[in-house]
A and B are shown apart, each in its own frame.
Chain A
Amino acid sequence: MNFIENTKVRWLRDNLFSSIGSATITLITVYMLISMYRGTVGFILSPMRKWTAVTYNMQLYMIFNYAEDESWRAWASVGVALLLAGITLGYWNTGEKTSFNSISTGIFKLSTALTLMVVLAPTETEVMNNDGSRSMVEVISSNQRMNLLIPMAVLTLLSFLLTRYDIQKSFNKTKMIIFYLGFLVASGWLIKVPTVVFDDAGNRVKPDLFLPVATTTTIPWTILYAVLWAAFFIGLFLQKKELKTLKRIIPISWVILPLYLFSWLYKKPIIEFNKVLMNDIPGVLIFWTIGFLIIRYITNEKFMSYKNYLTGVFLLATALILFLRIPFLFKVLTFSVVLLLLVAPAIANTTEGKKSLLIIWVVAVAVLAFLLRGSGSPTGIMTPTGSFLGGFSLTWVLAIFGTYVSFPFGVILALGRTSNLPLVRIICTGIIEIVRSVPYITWLFFASVMLTVFMPEGVEFNLIVRVLIVTAFFSGAYFAENIRGGLQSIPKGQYEAANAIGMNPFQRISLIVLPQALRAVIPTLVSSIITAFKDSSLVAIIGLFDTLRIGSAVIPTQSSPVNFVGTQLDNLLFIALFYWVFCFIFSRRTMKIEKKLGLGER
Chain B
Amino acid sequence: MSIIVTKDVKKWFGDFQALDGISMEIKEKEVIVICGPSGSGKSTFIRCINRLEQHQEGEIIVDGIELTNDLKNIDAIRSEVGMVFQSFNLFPHLTVMQNITLAPIWVRKKTRTEAEAKAMELLERVGIPEQAEKFPGQLSGGQQQRVAIARALAMEPKIMLFDEPTSALDPEMIKEVLDVMKELAQSGMTMIVVTHEMGFAKEVCDRVIFFDEGKLVEENNPEDFFNNPKSDRTKLFLSQIL
Contacts and interface: CB of A to CB of B under 8 A. Distances in A.
B106 A493 contact: no
A423 to B, nearest CB: 19
B92 A602 contact: yes
B233 to A, nearest CB: 30
A601 B136 CA distance: 12
B238 interface: no
Given A494-B89, A511-B106, A512-B91, 20 more contacts: A346-B106, A350-B111, A491-B89, A493-B85, A493-B89, A496-B85, A496-B89, A497-B89, A497-B91, A500-B83, A500-B85, A501-B78, A501-B102, A501-B107, A501-B152, A502-B155, A503-B106, A504-B107, A507-B106, A602-B136
A497 B155 contact: no
A146 B152 CA distance: 75
A524 to B, nearest CB: 18
Contacts of A151: none
Contact of B137 (A349, A504, A519, A601): A601
A112 interface: no
Contacts of B83: 497, 500
Interface string B186-227: 000000000000000000000000000000000000000000
Interface of B: 50-52, 75, 78-79, 81-83, 85, 87, 89-93, 102-103, 106-107, 109, 111, 135-138, 151-152, 155
A490 B138 CA distance: 19
Interface string A327-370: 00000000000000000001001101000000000000000000
B87 A501 contact: no
A516 B93 contact: yes
Interface string A468-500: 000000000000000000000001011011011
23 contacts: A346-B106, A493-B85, A493-B89, A494-B91, A496-B89, A497-B83, A499-B50, A499-B78, A500-B50, A500-B82, A501-B78, A501-B102, A501-B103, A501-B155, A502-B75, A502-B155, A503-B103, A503-B106, A503-B107, A504-B75, A511-B106, A602-B92, A602-B135
Nearest to A494: B89
Contacts of B106: 346, 503, 507, 511
Nearest to A349: B109
A515 B109 contact: no
Interface of A: 346, 349-350, 352, 491, 493-494, 496-497, 499-504, 507, 511-512, 515-516, 519, 598, 601-602
A602 B152 CA distance: 22
B128 to A, nearest CB: 18
Given A350-B111, A496-B52, A497-B91, A502 B78 contact: yes
A501 B119 CA distance: 15
Given A504-B75, A602-B137, A499 B52 contact: yes
Query: Which residue, of B51, B87, B89, has the highest number of chain A Cβ atoms within 10 A?
Result: B89
Query: Which residue, of A346, A511, A516, has the highest number of chain B Cβ atoms within 10 A?
Result: A511
A502 to B, nearest CB: 4
A357 to B, nearest CB: 14
A101 B22 CA distance: 74
Contacts of B78: 499-502
Contacts of A493: 85, 87, 89
Contacts of A350: 111
A interface: dominant SS: helix
Nearest to A353: B111
Which 3 A-B residue pairs are closest in the complex by CB-CB distance? Answer: A602-B137, A497-B89, A501-B103
B52 A602 contact: no
A502 B52 contact: no
A370 B152 CA distance: 46
Contacts of A602: 92, 135-138
B151 to A, nearest CB: 7
Contacts of B87: 493
Contacts of A497: 83, 85, 89-91
A502 B107 contact: yes
Contacts of B137: 601-602
Contacts of B50: 499-500
Contacts of B151: 501
Contacts of B91: 494, 497, 512, 516
A598 B135 contact: yes
A34 to B, nearest CB: 47
Nearest to A492: B89
Contact of B93 (A352, A500, A504, A515): A515
A251 B91 CA distance: 25
A504 B87 CA distance: 22
B209 to A, nearest CB: 21
A500 B152 contact: yes
Contacts of B75: 502, 504
A503 B51 CA distance: 13
A346 B85 contact: no
A104 to B, nearest CB: 37
A519 B85 CA distance: 24
A456 to B, nearest CB: 38
Nearest to B154: A501
Nearest to B104: A501
Nearest to A507: B106
A346 B102 CA distance: 12
B54 to A, nearest CB: 12
A512 B98 CA distance: 11
Contact of A502 (B79, B85, B93, B111): B79
Nearest to A515: B93
A491 B88 CA distance: 12
Contacts of B138: 602
Contacts of B51: 499
A349 B85 CA distance: 31
A500 B78 CA distance: 6
B178 to A, nearest CB: 21
A352 to B, nearest CB: 8
Contacts of B92: 516, 602
Nearest to A299: B109
Contacts of B135: 598, 602
Contacts of A598: 135
A450 to B, nearest CB: 43
A505 to B, nearest CB: 9
Contacts of A519: 93
A502 B109 contact: no
A350 B152 CA distance: 24
B177 to A, nearest CB: 17
A355 B52 CA distance: 37
A493 B164 CA distance: 14
Nearest to A598: B135
A602 B107 CA distance: 27
A384 to B, nearest CB: 52
A507 B85 contact: no
